[in-house]
Amino acid sequence: MTDASNSAIPTRATGDSTGMDFLTSLPRRVVTVYIPLAIFIFVLLFPFYWMTISAFKPNAEMSSNRNANPFWIVSPTLENINHLLFNTDFPAWFWNTMLISTAATFVSLFASVLAAYAIARIRFKGADQVGGIIFLAYLVPPSILFIPLASIVYELELYDTSWALILTYPTFLIPFCTWLLIGYFKAIPYELEECAVVDGASRLQILVKIVLPLAVPGLISAGIFAFTLSWNEFIYALTFISSNEEKTIPVGVLTALIEGDVYNWGALMAGALLGSLPVAIVYSFFVDYYVSSLTGAVKE
């Protein structure tokens, strides 16, 4: 793997988008760029294809790959999707997941923006140490945290409410978001702020009117990151939510579609598909923005 990448990388590096692609001939590009890229896309998308095709497969075709081609469907069915949408609480789970992820993202962004601004621009005493500590917060594995955390969630009367997740998800979102934003904020020239101070603006005004607009790309990156992690979270959602209609997609889909030792594969895969498509659509709008926006962090 490494060998292949090393040998391929040099030519690739020269082929920067605006750079010197014209120097490489077309056949060479096919071998060094398009074929590897096609393989990447194939491998990355294959499981997704597999989910899609399973979601539309009737149960009878599901495990008959001795006598049929598993890559294709003979008689596609909407039964699995139908089952998921109308026989389970999937719409409610979807709504919950959307709500919780969005809220957790906003809470995290809000806290991270303030923290990152304080660390990067206000430069209070001990800012670097605080930054380090926030980073260390990432070291805590949720797989054990959830029991003591459950007591706290109970004590705060948050059990079985969306708030339990909205307030606990930021624990693993804030560190990364803060970190990313520190990079952005540092890149903003101090002169801009100084001018504003001279004009008599408060810190908050500076943050909202000057710094934030310049850091929008960073906010989007951090937001996307936070949203995706919230969307996928499993342990906390499993532990802190018990009512069926309050569940999130990953937990709900598993609970509803695994009956003892029988996996309802078609519907499970339909759940995976429907559970990720909306995010995928959002991403397809944002991805270019995301890519170009992350550049801010690099200049740290």
Partner 1 sequence: MTDFNRRDALKVGAGAAAAAGIAGSAEAQQAAPTIRITPERGAQLRVLRWRRFVEGDERAWVANTQKFTQNTGIQVRLDNESWEDIRPKAAVAANVGRGPDIIFGWYDDPHQYPDKLVEVTDLANYLGRKYGGWYPVAQRYGINNNKWMSLPLGCAGNAMVYRIGAVREAGFEQFPRDFPGFLRLCQALKRNNKGVGFALGNAVGDGNGFAHWLVWSHGAKMVDDQGNVVINSPQTIAALEYAKQLYETFIPGTLSWGDINNNRAFLAGELALTANGISVYYSAKTSTDAAQRAIADDLNHANLPIGPAGRATEINLATQAMIFKYTRYPNAAKEYLRFMWEQEQINAWVEASIGYVTPALQAFERHPIWTSDPKVTPYRDSYKNMLWSGYSGPMGYASAASMADYIMVNMVAEAASGARTPQQAAERAAERANRYYRL
Partner 2 sequence: MASIPAIPYQSSWRSRLVENKNFLGAVFMIPAAGILLVFLAWPLLRGIWLGFTNATLGREGRFIGLGNFISLAQDSVFWLSVFNTFFYTVIASVAKFALGLWLALLLNHNMPFKAQIRAFILLPYIVPTVLSALAWLWMYDAQFSVISWLLTQLGLIDRYIDFLGDAWNARLSLIVANVWRGIPFIAITLLAGLQTISPSLYEAAALDGATASQRFWHVTMPLLMPIIAIVMTFSVLFTFTDFQLIYSMTKGGPVNATHLMATLSFQRAIPGGQMGEGAAISTAMIPFLLAAVLFTYFGMHRRKWQQGARDD
Site for partner 1 in 69-128 (CB under 8 A): none
According to the binding rule CB under 8 A, does residue 299 interact with partner 1? no
44 binds, among partner 1, partner 2, none (CB under 5 to 8 A by kind): partner 2
Instruction: State which of residues 81, 167, 256, 268 lies at the interface with partner 1 (CB under 8 A).
Output: 256
* Element (DSSP H or E) covering residue 263: strand 262-263
* DSSP code for 137: G
Q: Give the shortest CB-86-to-partner 2 separation in angstroms.
A: 20
Q: Give the shortest CB-182-to-partner 2 separation in angstroms.
A: 11
Instruction: State which of residues 1, 4, 44, 147 lies at the interface with partner 1 (CB under 8 A).
Output: 147
Could you tell me which of 120, 131, 176 has the C-alpha nearest to residue 299?
120
Could you tell me which of 25, 2, 45 has the C-alpha nearest to residue 34?
25
Could you tell me which of 206, 178, 183, 203 has the C-alpha nearest to residue 113?
178
Which span sits near partner 1 by CB under 8 A: 177-185, 212-220, 248-256, 269-277? 248-256
260-289 residues near partner 1, rule: CB under 8 A: 260-263
Q: What is the dihedral of CA 121, 125, 131, 137, to 10 degrees?
A: -140
Tokens coding 266? 């078609």
Instruction: State which of residues 5, 242, 292, 295 lies at the interface with partner 1 (CB under 8 A).
Output: 242
Give bridge partners of residue 227 from the DSSP assignment: none
| Kind of pairing between the strands at 258-259 and 262-263 | antiparallel
The burial of 177, by beta-carbon neighbours within 10 Å (0-12 exposed, 13-18 middle, 19 or more buried), is given as buried
Residue 26 to residue 103: CA distance in whole angstroms? 48
290 binds, among partner 1, partner 2, none (CB under 5 to 8 A by kind): partner 2
Q: What are the phi and psi torsion angles at 258 (to 5°)?
A: -105, 115
31 binds, among partner 1, partner 2, none (CB under 5 to 8 A by kind): none
Report the residue number, 86 or 285, with the smaller CB distance to partner 2: 285
* DSSP code for 262: E
Q: Is the dihedral of CA 133, 106, 287, 217 positive or negative?
A: negative
Report the residue number, 79 or 263, with the smaller CB distance to partner 2: 263
Report the residue number, 64 or 205, with the smaller CB distance to partner 1: 64
260 binds, among partner 2, partner 1, none (CB under 5 to 8 A by kind): partner 1
Q: Give the shortest CB-264-to-partner 2 separation in angstroms.
A: 11
276 binds, among partner 2, partner 1, none (CB under 5 to 8 A by kind): partner 2
Residues binding partner 1 (CB under 8 A): 59-60, 63-64, 66, 146-147, 150-151, 154, 159, 238-239, 242-244, 254-256, 258-263
